[in-house]
Structure 1
């Protein structure tokens, strides 16, 4: 009899906690960092040659100025089909353009070269990167 009473009270207690023990669902807060730094827009790549015959890759992009932009960091990845193994190209740039003539020679017929441009805000927050892939061919 005591066992049945304890089981009934335990069941009532569990149901009460489930019904009344939880708060109403709350709305998620909007993260303050989203949109804090301007996004890279219209990233384009043009391939040419330097006077000495090296590859010259020109990156150009646009952005909507919101007053919180310090510079852009430009990264490059060679031969990485996933585009994940990036190296920082120094120094950071202050204008929405970058020229890369430091691509090492390659033995393959062609290679993929990935570029990532990351906007950096005055408050050091990073914006959404622009990523572009270009294929370079040996002639």
Structure 2
């Protein structure tokens, strides 16, 4: 960013991109909370299952990379999901340093219960599917720029 652009950025809270993302994230989590409580899940458990429903039998490292979570956060989360009977953790026989995460039958079945969540999440708001898709595209583009610049 050029020096001219740097001086045009204020320290006002409402001018901070991080705060806009934070406030939006909190609002979205508030929408998810009652739907996930019905399933007995936290949001982080839910996104972990979403990733596993897309691709099962992955390593902890692969899952952490997909979710942007480090192993210190992911390991207790996976232990909790395992205790709930939703997944299993097993050592990779080819390389015992790796732990493979696999959904159980119960974890697979939960997908059917969760399938309505994306439809329900915005039903009582003025947000429509087109708004969601436009925002996703913009945020993914922004994230890609941060990743390609080595910021993440």
Shared fold per TM-score greater than 0.5 = no
TM-score band w.r.t. shorter chain: under 0.3
What is the TM-score when the length of structure 2 is the normalising length? 0.20
Q: Name the structure with the higher helix share.
A: 2
Rg larger in 1 or in 2? 1
What is the TM-score when the length of structure 1 is the normalising length? 0.21
Higher relative contact order (CA 8 A, sep 6+): 1
